């Protein structure tokens, strides 16, 4: 009888911890909800023969080495994102901070990338180091 009670208590504690973990993670989707990747993830080109590949954790421009980034977006309308390149060393095309703006409606496969040297400049939308328009390949 004691073993049965311990087993039930153990299962109840695990279930409670699972509920706490799910509540703290910000997960709001149901089990039947479809996963939708971020709109900037994919393979892109700019019409000048240059390519950009963005995965969930890396960005690769042309034949350069892929660099790690993190999404530092505070709030989004689903079309604008802020990324910070976290790989050390010199970057050829990219800067440390990237503002991504994706289109919806008429042109969902277009993305504008604005390059910044500092987080403050990116937040303020000032002192950009360049801007490029990219078109989704895949």
Sign of CA dihedral 103, 106, 110, 116: negative
Q: Taking the model in full, what pTM does it have? A: 0.70
14-39 confidence digits (pLDDT tens)? 454 454 344 333 333 445 556 677 89
How confident is the model over 78-105, as a mean pLDDT?
A: 88
Give the Å distances, CA to CA, from 71 to 76, 98, 99.
11, 10, 10
Q: What's the CA angle centered on 108, arms 107 and 109, to 5 degrees?
A: 90
What is the three-class DSSP state of 9? helix
- Delimit the domains of the chain by residue range: 42-136
């Amino acid at each position: 009888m004691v073993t049965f009670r311990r087993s039930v208590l153990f299962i109840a504690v695990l279930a409670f911890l699972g509920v706490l973990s799910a509540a703290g993670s910000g997960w709001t989707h149901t089990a039947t909800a479809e996963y939708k990747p971020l709109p900037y993830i994919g393979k892109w080109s700019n019409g000048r023969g240059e390519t950009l590949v963005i995965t969930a954790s890396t960005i690769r421009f042309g034949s350069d080495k892929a660099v790690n980034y993190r999404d530092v977006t505070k709030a989004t309308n689903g079309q604008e994102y802020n990324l910070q390149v976290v790989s050390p060393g010199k970057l050829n095309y990219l800067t440390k901070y990237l503002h991504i703006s994706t289109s919806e409606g008429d042109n969902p496969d277009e993305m504008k990338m604005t390059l910044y040297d500092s987080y403050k400049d990116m937040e303020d939308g000032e002192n950009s180091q360049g801007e490029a328009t990219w078109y989704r390949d895949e």
